Amino acid sequence: MTVYQQVYLLDAGNTQIKLALAQNGLIQWVKRFEMSLFPLETLDSNIPMAFSSVIKDELSTILHSYFTTCFEVNQLLKLPFKMRYNSPETLGIDRLCNAAAISILAPEKPKLAVDLGTCIKFDFMTAQNEYFGGSISPGLSMRAKALSTFTAKLPLLPIYRSPAIMGSDSQTSLEVGTYMGWQKEIEGFIDAYRTSYPDIQVFITGGDAKHFDIGQKNGIFVHENLTLEGILSLYHSHE
């Protein structure tokens, strides 16, 4: 098999499935589905499937039984970067894919993947393509749900991108605290990495990336399909 053939790419996260088709080594299209609405039977079972999943093993079983060729990302694969993480067997599959993606981006520069989804995930790689790890913290929706779940009277509010730093009532205080706290945490981490690595390249991805205000900062790029690109890179490296 060569990079000039087709391959499905599937990223099963905590909240949705992202499906893509790659051809000639490039992603042609991307679609998103709720787990219960994933149209497996509409896919061509003769096209190889490369996937990563952070959810139940039953999805893996279904995909392996449906597709003639099925490639699953796991922690035992030979990697296109040097693993320096102390417990690679515990590294989340989505983080592994993001690391694989940034390993082929910004050659000879330190780089950082920032995945904004259910959780905020930072993954750092040196200019020598050595992966050391990063951080995990609650994402935007998780913060809003925590305020409602673990208090007696605070309501669950929809995510509102607020530029304010001060709320004038309980609702706006929650909105500001949830969003701006999330925004400033991300900015603070990026600034901390930049202090140690001034020429670092930052790649932001994930479903909540649309809420993040990048501003005028240089060296920060939104890469919507970073995880899928990582799956594709790992797949081609094992052909």
**Active-site annotation, residues:** 94
Encoded tokens for 190: 């990026």
Encoded tokens for 198: 């001034």
What is the CA angle 111-112-117, rounded to 5?
155
| Alpha-carbon gap, residue 98 to 131, rounded angstroms | 11
CB 120 within 8 A of CB 97: no
Q: What is the CA radius of gyration of the chain?
A: 19
* First-to-final CA distance of the chain: 6
What is the CA angle 77-10-48, rounded to 5?
75
Which of 183, 138, 180, 176 lies closest to 157, judged by CA? 176
Q: Compute, in degrees rounded to 10, the torsion defined by CA atoms 68, 69, 74, 76.
A: 120
How crowded is residue 232: how many other Cβ atoms within 10 Å of its Cβ? 23
